[in-house]
Amino acid sequence: MPAVLVNTFTVLAGSLIGILFRNRLKESLRKAVMKALGLCTFLIGISSAIETQNLLCVIVCMVVGTVLGELLRIDDGIEHAGDAIKAKLLRGKTGGGTMESFTEGFVSACILFCIGSMTIMGSLEAGIRHNYSIIYAKSMLDFVSSMAFGAAMGFGVTCSAAFVLVFQGALTLLAGVLGSLLSDAAVTEMSAVGGVILIGMALNMLECSRERIKVANMLPAIFLPILWTAVSSLLK
């Protein structure tokens, strides 16, 4: 858990630093930064997704996970949480931002900082072996990313630090309890599925689709490779 607290602090501090310079950046420059971040997010997603050793597993988990997410309306829940946080803490003011930009920053940052191979592998290493090196390395990357996101998207990125604490902390604690039951294959496919979700988020940031991809509804897919590999082992 110490590493999770460090990661939370780096997101909090980095985003606040970015916000300090937000008003000094022209709108055209902020948009350019967002495009650059979108391309970087796309690269991170690709690097995780291509590690898959079982493409069918990724496809099935993405489909089933998305159906579950749509039924649970996870994306709507996260957006409403973002709206509620802004309404309560900021009373509609984000230093020039709008409710929509606040929520977009909150959702995008939550997914970027909590989804991916470093989050999964780092949490497993921390929970099982008490090795915090991956999360510490991730913290430095998140510090830089949160500065750029904070400058481009505002206070919603800062509020995502709470989600980092809850999500990554829960994953680390869960790994400590169940980590020994997870196979290397399950961890690899979980990272691959997370990479696909990051690609979807990158497409949103780059505005490549007419309708926003509800990537938060895909989150249940990350945990389905555990079930897939367990069933596969039994069948073999």
Q: Which residues does 149 contact at the CB level (< 8 Å), separation at least 6?
A: 15, 18, 37, 105, 108, 109, 112, 157
Range of the domain at 43: 2-235
Determine the pLDDT at residue 54: 95
Determine the pLDDT at residue 96: 45
Q: Which residues does 162 contact at the CB level (< 8 Å), separation at least 6?
A: 8
Burial of 177 (0-12, 13-18, 19+ CB in 10 A): exposed
Average pLDDT of span 129-147? 86
* pLDDT per position as a tens digit, 29-46: 777 877 887 888 888 889
* pLDDT per position as a tens digit, 188-234: 898 889 889 889 888 988 888 788 888 889 989 988 998 999 899 88
Q: Which residues does 2 contact at the CB level (< 8 Å), separation at least 6?
A: 132
- Which H/E stretch holds residue 155? helix 155-178
Q: Which residues does 84 contact at the CB level (< 8 Å), separation at least 6?
A: none
Report d(CA 179, CA 174) in Å as an integer. Answer: 7
* pLDDT per position as a tens digit, 65-109: 999 999 999 888 877 776 776 677 655 454 445 556 777 788 888
Determine the pLDDT at residue 95: 47
Residue 229 CA, chain-centre distance (Å), reads 23
Average pLDDT of span 5-21? 92
Report the domain count for the chain: 1
Report d(CA 203, CA 208) in Å as an integer. Answer: 5
Among 121, 118, 175, which Cα is nearest to 141's?
118
Report d(CA 192, CA 194) in Å as an integer. Answer: 5
Determine the pLDDT at residue 115: 76
The number of CA neighbours under 13 Å toward the Cβ of 164 is 30
